[in-house]
Structure formats: structure tokens, C-alpha cells
Amino acid sequence: MDRRRLRAAGRHHSRRDPENLALGVALIGAGPLQVASLSGSIFLSNLPEAAGGAQEMAQGRSKPKVLGLWTATALLLSAAALAGNLLFTGLPQEALDLIRCVAGGAAVASLATEVFPKAFKEESCLTGIATAIGLVLAIGLAHLG
């Protein structure tokens, strides 16, 4: 694997691993409906990024190699979520809150460096409005639970 691909993989995991650890922490004490809801939303929110990434990766690589890399990534991120759930059960609330803050920072960094610039380039007028609506919806959904 060349250095460019290693750097890209490192950037991806440096943002996603803390986020997935926090997802595991969020599931501590959750019921089956909450787990299913969170899992479904994670899958749907990552599907466009995965499809775009797979399309870019397919240039010059075999389909089995691309599928293998995405499978390995999914397994690693799932393991991070599972580790967050199993290893951090029983930690004090302050420690869990700190983990969630680090994960939130990783998620915001990912959005700021990967998603927002591309969205602004493609649809400058609606990017800010869509971001604000998404934030309001996220806060509203958080208060429902």
C-alpha cells in the first residue's frame, strides 16, 4: 500500500474510531429499540460516503480488493463500537462524558474537513441552512430520548 493510501486510511480511522467508541458508550444500558435505531441511522448516514469512496477506490483496483477493504473497515469500526460498549461500562459519568466530547470533536472535524467544503462547493446557498436544520433536528431528537 502506498503512502498516500496509508495517510488516507489513517485520517479516516483517526476520525471514525473515537466516534465509534462513543457510539458504543452511548449504547451502555440501551434497549433493543435504541440499538436498532442507532445502528440504522449510522448505516444510512454513512451509505453515501461509502458509495462515493468505493467508486473512487474502484479506479485501478479489483472489485474483490475494494470489497475487502470496506469489509475490513466496517469490522474495525464495529469493533471500536463494541469495545466502547464493553470496556467502558461502569466508568464514572464524567469519564463517559469526556469520551463523548472527544468523539463529538472527531465527528465535527470530519464534517469540517470532508463534508462541508464539498457541500458548499456544490450548493453554497443551502449548505448553511441544511446544517442549521440538521443541528436543530439532532438536538430535538436528543431531547426526545
The whole-number pLDDT of residue 76 equals: 80
Q: Name the residue range of residue 134's domain.
A: 3-144
Whole-angstrom CA distances from 44 to 38, 47, 49, 63 are 10, 5, 10, 22
> Residue range 81-105: average pLDDT?
81
For residue 102 the three cell numbers come to 472527544
Q: What is the pLDDT of residues 19-63, one digit of tens each?
A: 677 777 777 777 777 777 777 666 666 666 676 777 777 777 787
The whole-number pLDDT of residue 116 equals: 83
Task: Please tell me which of 28-37, 71-80, 86-95 the model is most confident about, judged by mean pLDDT.
Answer: 86-95
Task: Name the band, by pLDDT with cuts 50, 70 and 90, for residue 2.
Answer: low
Domain count along the chain: 1
For residue 137 the three cell numbers come to 433536528
For residue 111 the three cell numbers come to 464534517
* pLDDT mean across residues, the chain: 75
pLDDT above 60 (res 13): no
**HEC states along 43-56?**
HHHHHHHHHHHHHH
For residue 40 the three cell numbers come to 440504522
Better-predicted residue by pLDDT, 40 or 105: 105
What is the DSSP track for 12-55?
HHHHHHHHHHHHHHHTTT--HHHHHHHHHHHHHHHHHHHHHHHH
